[in-house]
Amino acid sequence: MAKFPKVPKGIPKKGPPKPPAFAPKKFAPKSVPKKFEQANPPVFIPKATHGQPISDFRFPSKEPVQAPPAIPSRLSLDSEFDAPVPRGGAKAKKIPMHPRDFLLSEEEKQAPHHIAKVNKWRSWPLFVMGLTAFGIGVYGVQLYISITEAPEVEGGVPEDLSDRFDKEADGYDEKVNMAETMLFLKGKRKLLLAKAKGHVLESAVGTGRNIPYYPTKKCETVTLLDQSAPMLAVAKRKWKDEQPEYFHRVFFKNQSALDPITPPYDAQDGYDTVIQTMGLCSTAEPEKLLQNLEAATKEDGGQILLLEHGKSHWEWLNKLLDKTAPAHANEHGCWWNKDIGKIVQDSGLEVVAMRRYNFGTTWWIEMKPRKGMRTKQAKSAGVVFQQAPLPLPSGAVAQKPWWNFWG
């Protein structure tokens, strides 16, 4: 027969471990059913003082030994357990468990108002799950209808779709709200914007769906740019409503992001942060647009943050997107089947991080500008950077006319 190794001091010599002091009566070793005790006589498993099992330990017999039922180590709000089967009786009723329940007597736990309270709390997760399932269902049906009823575009889709946004500006937010909620995009926008700092440029800002998430305390200035004047006008109104105290530090630029972008006077080295969300889908020259954003970004420490949508990881989904893309673009001005990874690669910008969500259709991309590209691009576009005035040498006294006593 195998011998037990020496038991370190401080370890109890026999019997199953004592239940924790706070455990209810039901956990006491007494409640282990008799049947179980006979089939599996208690076996003492020695442990080292720090909870490490002793490596050369062997069970005394070769018969498989079933471990005693585990005592839950942590009690959650909704946890419940089967009460031990009373001797000869039917299975006991399920009793809800809550840390506070230890303070209640058996009678109080069975009281109708207590059971009603527990049931009320249990219905919340079901309600949330039901709502989510309903939302996904509605979105799925909408998607299915738009896919199966995708009309052919007569004469093809024009390359310049900018007028679609001009027409849609006022109802744009209501139209995209549902889809964005289903795709959990609000959270992603919030996380992306949390990275903004210094002088910030947001390209293709649209109606300003990121405005509520700007960490203005970290931003010296914010420039919002869009080629559609009606979209930019909605963004301007939104900023006034959402962050009025910061409005005086926001610039609104109605221009194409394909044209040279001049940063504010005190950011002549370029913007510290350039952001664009859902912009590549609606521009005819996405690679050029990225290179132009690179030229507007500060070479040392500048960051370019994108949240875009396009091709998926999945072929079946790509087929659906391809099939419906022309009609969708013709109506809304956005191509939802673009290969964002390829666009970024072809632009040549340096990728720092890339993540994909929603079957791979949502692209989170962090980039940094390449050295020398800002000056190179500015030269080829004929841009002359404004130089900030040199600071006065220390000790120099600013001149003022002799008659000015108080200036």
Ligand X SMILES: C[S@@+](CC[C@H](N)C(=O)[O-])C[C@H]1O[C@@H](n2cnc3c(N)ncnc32)[C@H](O)[C@@H]1O
- Give CA–CA dist 177/233, Å, rounded: 19
- Of 230, 224, 221, 198, the C-alpha closest to 210 is 224
Whichever of 97 and 367 has its CB closer to ligand X, that residue is: 367
User: DSSP class of residue 69?
Assistant: P
* 256 part of the interface to ligand X, by CB under 6 A: yes
Subset of residues 128 to 187 that bind ligand X, contact rule: CB under 6 A: 162, 165
* 261 part of the interface to ligand X, by CB under 6 A: no
Q: Which stretch binds ligand X (CB under 6 A): 80-88, 145-153, 256-264, 348-356?
A: 256-264
Whichever of 223 and 256 has its CB closer to ligand X, that residue is: 256
* 383 part of the interface to ligand X, by CB under 6 A: no
* 282 part of the interface to ligand X, by CB under 6 A: yes
Spatial contact of 277 and 293, defined as CB atoms under 8 Å apart: no
* 292 part of the interface to ligand X, by CB under 6 A: no
* 267 part of the interface to ligand X, by CB under 6 A: no
* 228 part of the interface to ligand X, by CB under 6 A: yes
How are beta strands 362-368 and 350-357 bridged, if at all? antiparallel
* 205 part of the interface to ligand X, by CB under 6 A: yes
Q: Which stretch binds ligand X (CB under 6 A): 54-62, 121-129, 252-260, 364-372?
A: 252-260
The phi, psi pair for 17, rounded to 5°, reads: -60, 150
- In 10 A of CB 126, how many CB atoms? 9
* 223 part of the interface to ligand X, by CB under 6 A: no
Residue 368 bridge partners (DSSP): 350
Tokens of 322: 């391809």
CA atoms within 13 A on the CB side of 202: 28
**Candidate list 96, 263, 270, 279; residue touching ligand X; CB under 6 A:** 279
Question: Any idea what the Cα angle at residue 353 is, between residues 350 and 359, rounded to 5°?
Answer: 120
* 204 part of the interface to ligand X, by CB under 6 A: yes
* 351 part of the interface to ligand X, by CB under 6 A: no
* 347 part of the interface to ligand X, by CB under 6 A: no
Q: Which stretch binds ligand X (CB under 6 A): 58-66, 273-281, 311-319, 358-366?
A: 273-281
Whichever of 98 and 189 has its CB closer to ligand X, that residue is: 189
Helical residues (DSSP H) of 101-211, grouped into ranges: 106-110, 112-148, 162-168, 172-182, 185-193
- Give CA–CA dist 5/402, Å, rounded: 100
Query: Which residue number has the CB closest to ligand X?
Result: 206
Residues at the interface with ligand X (CB under 6 A): 162, 165, 204-206, 209, 226-228, 231, 256-258, 277-279, 282-283, 289, 334
